[in-house]
A and B are shown apart, each in its own frame.
Chain A
Amino acid sequence: MNKVLMSGNNIIGEAAIRAGCVFYAGYPITPQNELTEYMAEHMRNAPGGVFVQSESEVAAIHMIIGASAAGARVMTSSSSPGISLKQEGISSMAACELPGVIVNIMRGGPGLGNISPAQGDYFQATRGGGHGDYRTIVYGPATCQELADLTMHAFDQADKYRTPVMILADGMMGQMMEPVVFKKPKPREYSEKFMLRGAGTGKSRFIRGLILNVIEEEEHNWKLARKYQTIIDHERMHEEYKTEDAQLVIVSYGTSARIVKGAIKRLRDSGMKVGLFRPITLWPFPEPELRTLAKKVKNFLVFEMSTGQMLDDVRLALQGFADIGFHGRPGGVVPTPAELANVITRHYKTEILPKSEHLGLE
C-alpha cells in the first residue's frame, strides 16, 4: 500500500471518503477548515457523495441526522465552540440511535478562547456533552496514521452500535503532516431495517426521541445503558509504552501523549524508569487496564493540555491504589518534550527516588 504525506485534517477527510462516507455537512471554524475544504473538493467525486456547507453548526448536525436516518454514512466536523452548538443534535442521535461520526479538532477555551491546540473538551466529549443520559464513543488519536485508522473504525463502530462516535483531536493533530497508509476499509454492515427510505407498500415507520410515557422512556434509557455497558466491555483501546520496568507512569492522550513520548526518551537516557499509559478510547476509558498496571506501578502522573479533566477518570480507575500527580498546560499552550521532561524529573526526584531509596531499590 502506498505511503503518502498528508496533513491531519486532510487525512480524516480522505479516510472518511474511503470508508464510504457519502454525506458531509460542516461550517467553517479554525483549526479544522482544511477538513471542510477537503470534503468540499473530494466529496463531489465520491459516488453518491453530498457536501453541504451549512448555515450553522446546528444545521450541520441536523443535516447529518436526516441523511443518517435515510441510510447514508455521515460525518460532520468542527472545533470546540462549534461542538458546543452541535450538542443538541448529538444528544438527539444518541436518543434516536442514529450512527454518525463527529470530529472535534479542539482549540483553547472556554468561550471563544483561541485557535491553538488544547484538550479542554475532554469532559464535554466523554460525559455525553448534550442533555440526557447518554454516552458517546470517543477516540483520541495521537498520530496521523491513527487519524486514518480510527476515522475508518469510527464509522464501523457508529454502525455497529447505532450511536454517534467522536474523534477528539486538537489543532496540532489537525495541522501536522505525517506519512500515512490508508488501509482497506471493511465493507459496511448496517441493516436496511434501521433506515427510513419511504414505506413502499409496507407499514410506515418513524424515528423519534420523544417518549412521553415515562416507563417507556425509562426502559429506553436502560436499553441505551445496556448498549453502553457492552461498549465498555468490548471496545476499550489503549497503548502502553515502556511500562514493563516503569516506576512512574505518565497517563496522557492525543498530542499530550506525543510530547510525553519525547520526554520519556530523554528521561530514559538519564536512567529514570518512566513509561506511558495512553488511552486511545477516551470513552470507554481503559479503566481495568490502568488498574491492572497499578498492581506493579504505584506512581502515576497525569499530563493534559487542560487544568485536569482526564485526571478524574484516572482517579476513578486507580481508586486510591496508587499515588497520582498532575501537570496541566491549558489555554492553547503546547509544552516541548524538554520542558515536560524537566517537570517529570522534578516529580520523579521528589516522589519516586526517596521511596525507592527507603525500600533499598536504588
Chain B
Amino acid sequence: MAKKVFSRPKSLKEVINHYCPGCGHSIAHRLIAEVIDELDIRGITIGVPPAGCAVLAYFYIDVDMLEAQHGRGPATATGIKRALPDRVVFSYQGDGDLAAIGMAESFHAANRGENITVFFMNNAVYGMTGGQMAPTTMVDQKTTTTLAGRNRITEGYPVKVCELFSSLKGTTYIERCTVNSPANVNKTKKAIKKAFQCQMDGLGFSLVEILSPCPTNWKMSPIDSCKWIDEVMSKEFPLGVFKDETGAAKKREEAAS
C-alpha cells in the first residue's frame, strides 16, 4: 500500500487563495495550518487577521477568526485571550499594520507580556494598497511613494521589530525567519511551532517575523524576489532567534506552582 507523505493540512480550507504568484502569505498560512494540526489545537484556536493583504485569512485558515481593524490586532487579541485564557490566540499582521498604524497596540501588548502569538509578515511595502513605502522599506528602496528610493533624511530608517521588541522585558520568544527557500520554510515552521508552544505553556508573548517576498510590488520575478531577501533584505533584517526565554519562563512557572 502506498504511504501518504504529503497532503493539505486539515486546518487549511480547500479554496483557491487570492495571493499573487510568489507571495509569502500563502506559505505562511500553510505553515500555521500545519502546526495547528500537529499541535491538535484547531478547536481551541482563535485567529485575528489584519487589514492588508491577509485580510481574508479567515477564508483560508480553518479556525475561528475575528477580523481586526487596521493595526489593532494585538489589542483585539488581548481582549479575546483575557476573556478566554485557555484558548490559543494569534494575531497575523503585515509591516504597515504592526509597525506603523498599529505600533502602539503591538508594542504595548508585547510589553504587557500578553500570552498571545503574533505572526509578523514583513515584505517591506504596503502590498494590498499597491506598493507604497512601509515602515520596513529599505533605505533607497523604490516604492510608489518613494519614487527616487526611501530617503533616510526625510523618511528615516527601516523599523526593526524583533530588535525592538526583544528589548522589552515582557516578551518571551522572538524570532525572525523567511520563506524564500525550502530550508528557510522549515525553519519558519519550527519557529511557528515554538511560538504556539510558548503560548500553550503559558510563558508569555511570542512573535515570529517572516521576511516575505512580494514580487508584484517589488516588480521582480518570484525567483529574483527570493534572491533579494538573501542579498538585501536579510542584511538589514538579520535572521535568527532574538530572544528565547521559554526555558527561564518555564522554570519560573514551575517554581511558582
Contact = CB atoms under 8 A, between A and B. Distances in A.
Contact of B72 (A59, A205, A208): A59
B27 interface: no
B69 A70 contact: no
Contact of B83 (A50, A55, A205, A207): A50
Interface string B69-106: 10010011111111110010000000000000000110
B80 A62 contact: no
Contacts of B209: none
A60 B76 CA distance: 9
B82 A67 contact: yes
Interface string B55-73: 1101000111111110010
Given A59-B104, A199-B43, A208-B58, A66 B78 contact: yes
Given A62-B69, A66-B66, A69-B66, A197 B87 contact: yes
The 8 closest A-B pairs by CB, nearest first: A66-B79, A206-B58, A62-B75, A55-B108, A208-B67, A67-B79, A70-B83, A62-B72
Interface of A: 22-23, 25, 50, 52, 54-56, 58-60, 62-72, 74, 88-89, 92, 96, 196-201, 204-210
A23 B78 contact: no
A96 to B, nearest CB: 8
A315 to B, nearest CB: 35
Mostly, the A contact residues are mixed
A205 B108 CA distance: 28
Interface in B91-139: 104-105, 107-108
Given A23-B83, A50-B82, A197-B84, A92 B46 contact: no
Contacts of A201: 43
Nearest to A98: B66
A64 B45 contact: no
Contact of A206 (B42, B64, B69, B77): B64
A55 B78 contact: no
B44 interface: yes
Contacts of B43: 198-201
B106 to A, nearest CB: 10
Given A204-B64, A205-B65, 20 more contacts: A55-B108, A56-B105, A59-B78, A60-B75, A62-B69, A63-B82, A66-B48, A66-B78, A67-B82, A70-B80, A70-B87, A96-B66, A197-B84, A198-B43, A198-B63, A198-B87, A205-B64, A206-B65, A207-B67, A210-B55
Given A55-B108, A199-B42, A207-B65, A72 B72 contact: no
Nearest to B91: A66
A17 B108 CA distance: 26
Contacts of A68: 79
B63 A89 contact: no
A80 B156 CA distance: 34
A332 B44 CA distance: 50
Nearest to B62: A204
B70 to A, nearest CB: 9
B105 A206 contact: no
A1 B68 CA distance: 43
Contacts of A208: 58, 65-67
B78 A204 contact: no
A123 to B, nearest CB: 23
